[in-house]
Chains A and B, each alone.
Chain A
Amino acid sequence: MKVLNIIEIAYRATLEEQDDPVVWIIHAMKGAGADHSVLLSGNAVNYAVTAQGVPPLMFGDRAQKHAPRLAEQVAGLVAKGVDVMVVRECLTERGIREEELIGGLTMVKQAAVPKMMGGFDQVWHW
């Protein structure tokens, strides 16, 4: 079964989870043999920006040491053979240039998404 995961929600609980929970579960399912592709849309296109990083985080004297590395998480999917696509218009709307992104991504026009969805057995919209 081929699944397209459209990820739209971003930076929700990423600091608490040290991960994006959706990207994480796709990693986990990939490990279980699943055939997944990913389409970053909405604010989630920012997950592919290389320059991002979490500043030091302290709560009283409790230092939070393991910050989420979202671009690396996405790059990890690419390295595992997951096709990771990005909606071009969502980048443009947010002023993000392609050269700011990690490698290995496929740019997709919004208008091409409906046809592309036809190539998958399921589409999960996160």
Chain B
Amino acid sequence: MADKKTLTFLLMDAPFENARTTTALRLIDIAARRGYDINVFAYEGAVYLPLAAQAKHANAVHGTDAAEEDHPLPREWVEAVMQEAARNGGKLDWVNCGLCVDERGATESVAGVRRGSPADFWKMASTSDNVLVIPTR
């Protein structure tokens, strides 16, 4: 692909807490559909985004059981955009900040997520066509 790009995103928000997570994954999805190579450095609470233990639950207010509720799980979104990138000839390299993982006990992630450090983020950033830092508040 002649116009294949590499984009890097730094995410900081924990899941289920801010619209930034949805927007960030929407951006990553768009890039994945284009077959871009995508780097994600998950810093701080964002290391919970691909947490394998996320589970669907019933919702008494909605009157739904777990299957009917089909609650969104960011780990599924992460897996889906990884698969979307691959289907389109791209690659999503998701790196969880290792120290952030350790202090949060977020050690079990979905397949394809690897552990790294700020040096990995710098390497990603300096070899990308562009970088977007999406900080938490």
The stretch that binds A, out of B24-32, B47-55, B69-77, B114-122, is B114-122
- Known contacts A13-B44, A25-B43; A32 and B122 CB within 8 A of each other: yes
Q: Which residues of B contact A21 (CB under 8 A)?
A: 12, 43-44
Residue of A nearest to B12 (CB): A21
- Describe B's contact surface by its main secondary structure: mixed
Chain B: how many interface residues by the 8 Å CB criterion?
Answer: 18
- Known contacts A13-B44, A34-B126, A122-B131; A25 and B136 CB within 8 A of each other: no
Residues of A within 8 A of B (CB): 1, 3, 9, 12-13, 21-22, 25, 28-29, 31-34, 122, 124-126
Residue of B nearest to A25 (CB): B118
A124 to B126, CA, bound (A): 13
Q: Which residues of B contact A13 (CB under 8 A)?
A: 44
In angstroms, how far is the closest chain A Cβ from the Cβ of B20? 13
Q: Say whether A124 contacts B119, CB under 8 Å.
A: no
Q: Say whether A124 contacts B133, CB under 8 Å.
A: yes
Q: Which residues of B contact A3 (CB under 8 A)?
A: 125
The 8 Å CB contact of A34, one of B10, B12, B122, B137, is B122
